[in-house]
Structure 1
Amino acid sequence: MNSAVPQPASAAAPRRDTRSPLQRLLKGIELAWRRGFFRVLAGIIWLSDRLPRGPRVPGPQRVLFLRPDRIGDMIVSTGVIRAIGGAPDTVLDVLAAPGNATVLAAEPAVRRVHVLNRRRFADLRAAVRTLRHERYDVVVDCMPTAPSVTILLIVLAIGARRRVGTRGRGLDHILSPATPSLPLESHIVDHLSLLVPPFRPDAATLDLSPVLVLTSDEQAGAEQVWEADKSRQMQITKNASTRLLVNISAGKAARWWPASSYAAVVAAARNARPDLQVLIMCAPNERDRAEELAELTGAGIAPTGSLRSAMAIAGAADVVFTPDTSIAHAAGALGVPVVDMLLFGKESGWGVYRPLGENMESPTDQLQDLGPEQPSAALLRVLSRVAPQRARGHATPVT
């Protein structure tokens, strides 16, 4: 059984904002311009809006939750999506992007997932036509901290009687209701949780942590990946009973971390835990880096498959070590302790939510400026709380 319990992150190294004064000034001007633009756009829409809006009417309601963006955004929204979908007399659909739609493939609280490619106007027009035909009673704006032009236009085009979103973004007068807002530095899950009270009077008592559901076949496939690698690794580690997944996929150049740093972390972990089985995960375009790290450490490389198979492999690990990508949030949502390396200023808002492991930040906006010492120490602390040969299977299987 997993013996890890939530622990506070270690004291962070001194951090600094590497932007120049001019860059900070320009960023401030950009944010002010965006706020003004949305207030003007919302005002124009409000003047021409003739939709009857108001409190919920009795009876069943059809709800559309908008999340046509990134994989990580969908994963951190899953607890909120489940809470809304579980509300009495509610039928919940989700508007997703091609890249994140499969996150909800086995989620029982969602009736249907619509897929929208925001980069193609023809797809946007077709999606709006389809969504209007569904006659939703409520549409939920998924951007609780900063509005999106595309999301705003979709919200308005759907024609729902109620529009749920957070206050303070210049859109209050076109929402019904506009829920309270939180300080910007709050975690994104806490921001998203503000969307639940209009549907659930018991919202304050709910655990809205991200949650993923894997099928039995997906879990079995992940077990096969780990077991297939185990015989090879036992040539290095005779008692390979504790699984460490090292995800090196960076997503963005700023989150790139040197192979030598990963190798140092793996070496420190193996010294402390001789029973360690190490598996490397990478995106297809980072295979060369994975092979370099495998050469340095003797670790195996997980097969490159679908997003669902990658999440299942992470869910079958005992600990995951990763830069801040969707795999970090997926592992956390599957109950796996994660050591998550984030860029400067990102931990409070985008670290793994209520982690069983530890979140930490680089001292700058480049992950390569974070040396291996702090991550190694964090991983050793997390490994010390994980019992070997624990029961497998983090997610609730469905058939």
Structure 2
Amino acid sequence: MYKFVRPRTRALMFCIDLVGCILWGVWRLIQPWTWFADRSVPDSPKRILLIRADYIGDVLLITHTLPAIRARFPHAEITCLVSPGGAAFIETNPHVDRVLTYSPPWFFKKKRRDAIREYWNIFTTLRRLRFDLAADFRGDLRNIALFMVAPGIPRRVSFAASGGYYLLTTIVPFAHGLREAAYHTQVAQALGAQVPDDAVPEVYPTTADETAAQAFLDRHGLDTSAPCVVIHPGARKAVRLWPAERYAAVARALIERAGARIILIGAPAERPLIDAVNAHLDNQATIATGEINTLRELAVLFKACQLYIGVSSGPSHLAGAVGLDSVLLFGPETPAQWEPLGNRHTILQHRFPCCPCTQTDCPHLPHHCIDAITVDEVVTAALSFLDQPQQGRS
């Protein structure tokens, strides 16, 4: 069962799998000593590789499985291969021994020469470390082939829903419609780990992170005298962007009706959008971009706030991880798969006939699914949280 939405993509992957299966079968035929090799997950592997090398929210959503995997393999050396952006969630995790970072060119654009050089570096590192067991949480043929098979890792665990079933030694069953975190749980369970039903993503800030976040709060006079509301107006895809003037209208209503203090967050590349929101707000917001510089500092900041407003993104999952109440604006995404884990949240979405979709740019812009969400809807949802005591993680 392929997980792709587009029929053309499913057909293409079937053809790739057919050719790949034949080539892999020929390769196995000339290596008869591999025919009877044990393909099960070993009880006591020395070195384990866990892979989720894509966006920051995806990396965060594997952290709830790490305590259980560590409990299953207490003496193994556990390495995580993640994107540089998501490494902040893993570097301080006590259940991981080593972090390797890599930016796959199919997620992060780069020049061909740089892509070849970077892959060669990570390939040689994986070969040198001689892993006994690897698990890919995404279930991506490219990850399976390039990070598991090519480096010669003998036991390989993942989904086959993106192709490459013949390359795996343990195939994790795939079912449509689950939360993304639930898919990660299934991979951990295939390794033999017992992940509790109430497990949630974990972030481990350092003392330096806490000091930096507290200094930001003190510098701008952000204390418990007024509710702090964090707004992240940015989005990785244009189909998830909501107009800057509407974010400003929501912020203005919360200032006037709840006495809220507004904090705008985002990556440095999102600074023009953040400035545009603040300009519509007559510069009444505090801008954290450039002062809060790591995701762990952002996690500490979130713990001091009362509400998060944004789209489906990495920061929305971080808000879930620290238990920050959230109002989330969804465009074409599937809430059942991408809603955060660990907090109270309200998801606002207007379903169009073409939802869900995987488009980067909507052909119906500027009138599309996320554009249908109104300011009044967001304000009403936000006030419903601000009128209640903060609940923390759930």
User: How far apart, CA to CA, are the structure 2 residues paired with 1:38 and 1:377?
Assistant: 49
User: How far apart, CA to CA, are the structure 2 residues paired with 1:379 and 1:348?
Assistant: 21
- Aligned pair 1:156/2:144, yes or no? no
Q: Which residue number in structure 1 is paired with residue 286 of structure 2?
A: 300
**Structure 2 unmatched ranges of 5 or more:** 106-114, 353-367
**Larger relative contact order, structure 1 or 2 (CA cutoff 8 Å, min sep 6):** 1
User: How far apart, CA to CA, are the structure 2 residues paired with 1:43 and 1:379?
Assistant: 56
Cα distance change on mapping 1:202 and 1:256 into 2, 3 Å? closer
Q: Which residue number in structure 1 is paired with residue 134 of structure 2?
A: 139
Q: Which residue number in structure 2 is paired with residue 27 of structure 1?
A: 6
Cα distance change on mapping 1:360 and 1:80 into 2, 3 Å? farther
Shift of 1:85: 3.0
Task: Tell me which of 57, 62, 68 is aligned to 1:77.
Answer: 62
SS at match of 1:194: helix
- Aligned pair 1:195/2:187, yes or no? yes
- Aligned pair 1:214/2:205, yes or no? yes
Structure 1 runs of 4+ off > 6 angstroms? Answer: none
Cα distance change on mapping 1:317 and 1:40 into 2, 3 Å? farther
Cα distance change on mapping 1:58 and 1:186 into 2, 3 Å? closer
Q: How does 1:316-395 map to 2 (within 5 A)?
A: 316-364=304-352, 366-387=369-390
* One-letter code aligned to 2:370: L
Contact 2:134 / 2:155 at 8 angstroms: preserved in 1?
yes
User: How far apart, CA to CA, are the structure 2 residues paired with 1:335 and 1:106?
Assistant: 19
Q: Which residue number in structure 1 is paired with residue 269 of structure 2?
A: 285
User: How far apart, CA to CA, are the structure 2 residues paired with 1:326 and 1:277?
Assistant: 22
* One-letter code aligned to 2:44: G
* One-letter code aligned to 1:199: L
User: How far apart, CA to CA, are the structure 2 residues paired with 1:39 and 1:383?
Assistant: 55
User: How far apart, CA to CA, are the structure 2 residues paired with 1:46 and 1:356?
Assistant: 50
- Aligned pair 1:253/2:238, yes or no? yes
* One-letter code aligned to 1:28: P
Cα distance change on mapping 1:105 and 1:160 into 2, 3 Å? same
Q: How does 1:228-267 map to 2 (within 5 A)?
A: 228-230=219-221, 240-267=225-252
Q: Which residue number in structure 2 is paired with residue 20 of structure 1?
A: none
**Structure 1 unmatched ranges of 5 or more:** 1-25, 395-399
* One-letter code aligned to 2:219: A
Q: How does 1:42-57 map to 2 (within 5 A)?
A: 42-49=21-28, 50=31, 51=34, 52-57=37-42
User: How far apart, CA to CA, are the structure 2 residues paired with 1:358 and 1:115?
Assistant: 33
Cα distance change on mapping 1:245 and 1:41 into 2, 3 Å? same
TM superposition score normalised by structure 2 = 0.81
Task: Tell me which of 166, 183, 197 is aligned to 2:159.
Answer: 166
CA root-mean-square deviation? 2.7
Cα distance change on mapping 1:102 and 1:42 into 2, 3 Å? farther
- Aligned pair 1:270/2:255, yes or no? yes
Cα distance change on mapping 1:173 and 1:208 into 2, 3 Å? farther
Contact 2:321 / 2:343 at 8 angstroms: preserved in 1?
no
* One-letter code aligned to 2:122: A
Q: How many residues align?
A: 355
User: How far apart, CA to CA, are the structure 2 residues paired with 1:386 and 1:351?
Assistant: 22
Contact 1:64 / 1:94 at 8 angstroms: preserved in 2?
yes
* One-letter code aligned to 1:159: G
**CA offsets 1:105-128 (integer angstroms, 9 cap, x no match):** 211111101122333112212211
Cα distance change on mapping 1:170 and 1:115 into 2, 3 Å? closer
Cα distance change on mapping 1:55 and 1:148 into 2, 3 Å? closer
* One-letter code aligned to 2:82: A
TM superposition score normalised by structure 1 = 0.80
**CA offsets 1:24-46 (integer angstroms, 9 cap, x no match):** xx932123212432343244224
User: How far apart, CA to CA, are the structure 2 residues paired with 1:302 and 1:342?
Assistant: 23
User: How far apart, CA to CA, are the structure 2 residues paired with 1:110 and 1:322?
Assistant: 30
Shift of 1:94: 0.8
Shift of 1:93: 0.3
**CA offsets 1:195-253 (integer angstroms, 9 cap, x no match):** 112333533x353422211112212211221222227xx9xxxx743211111122222
